[in-house]
Every structure is written in structure tokens, then in C-alpha cells.
Amino acid sequence: MANTPMKLFLFFTAFTFFSCFSVRNDSVVRPRVDRSEAKTAFALLNDIRQRPEAFQHELGLTSLNGISRTPLRWNSTLAKVAEARALDMAQREYFDHTDPDGFGPNYHINQAGYTLNPDWLKHKETNNFESIGANHPTAVDGIKALIAGKNSPGFRHRAHLLGMDEWNASLNDVGIGFVRAPSGSPYQSYICVIIAKHDW
């Protein structure tokens, strides 16, 4: 019985040690999905499409010709895909339309249940519907940067988001994902904008 206090002491010491270890493990900061930011970005994008003249100077829209005034429709399936894509980039620390497994947006969109024309699925890395950005303080900043297009050769993101050609003007369903990355990550945030349609 003389050893009982010592045994109790050792038990509680070990318990405290492993409890602290567990708390430290659980408190690791992980990427955080921000759906409120995504919805704010959606509202802004529709506002820019319907009132481009109000944003002409800020976004460097030298011409308003060709901008689709058709409002985009929020699609919950596309939003889930966009969110998952942004989260995957944050978790695996890459920035690309093709994930490290070699799959592109078209594959992920179709796999989520938003069925696409089979011709758009012939190559697993294909992207017809996604614009991505990184390192923006907010999703609104991300949308503005994508449209301003200073780092987008040929202004591809601008054409996609504003429906500025026949293909992009035919896309009306949208989902947006915005993820904040933890300190020490390559980028502080990721935004993914998917604007799509099922078929011609």
C-alpha cells in the first residue's frame, strides 16, 4: 500500500502529459472554408455583369461590349465542387487546375453529380469551367483580381467570369469556394469559381 501514492502520481502525470499532447494535436490550424465570403463574391460577380459601367475604371474594363448581362444562378452542386477544389489546394499546398492526381475540373464536376456532355470528359485533366485565384484577403478581392486580369494571359478569367464570348456567355450555373489557409502556407487563401452548363 506504501506504493499507492506513487502509482497515483505516475498515473496522473502520464494522463496529463498525453492529454496535453492530444490537445496540441487537435489545435493544429487547418484550412477554413468561408461560405459567407463565397456568397458575397457571387453577389458582386452578378452586380459586375449587370452594371459593368460602375466597375469600368476599377477593373480596367476598356470595353463593355460583349459582357453578358445574364445573371448567374447559384448551383449548390457546383458550390460544393468549388469549395472542395479550393480546400484541396489549401490542404495539399498546390495551385493548379489539375490536382496532384491528374484530374481536372470537368472530372470533379461530373463526379459530383452535375452531369456533363461526355465529349467534355474525354481527357481527365480537362478544364472548361473553372477560374482560380490565390492569396487574396477576401473573395471579393479574388473576383476583382480575376476580372482585372493583369496576370491572366489573354484575359481568360475575365472572359469566363463575364461571359464575353459565345462559349462563356452560354454558361449560367455558378458555384464559388473560398478557403483561408493557415499561417505558413504558400498562399493565405484560395478562391475557385466554377461557371458551367450540362450540355450545348
Cell numbers at 193, concatenated: 469559381
Residue 28 has pLDDT above 60, yes or no: yes
Long-range pairs for 9-17 at CB < 8 Å and ≥24 separation?
none
DSSP-derived secondary structure for 92-124 = HT--SSS-TTS--HHHHHHHTT----GGGGSST
Q: Which domains, from first to last, does the chain contain?
A: 32-196 (3.40.33.10)
Q: State the pLDDT at residue 29.
A: 83
Rounded mean pLDDT of 41-63? 96
Q: Are 114 and 120 in contact (CB under 8 A)?
A: no
How many Cβ atoms are within 10 Å of 96's Cβ, its own excluded? 11
Whole-number pLDDT of residue 5:
56
What band does 31 get if pLDDT is binned at 50, 70 and 90? very high
- pLDDT of res. 4: 59
**pTM for the model:** 0.85
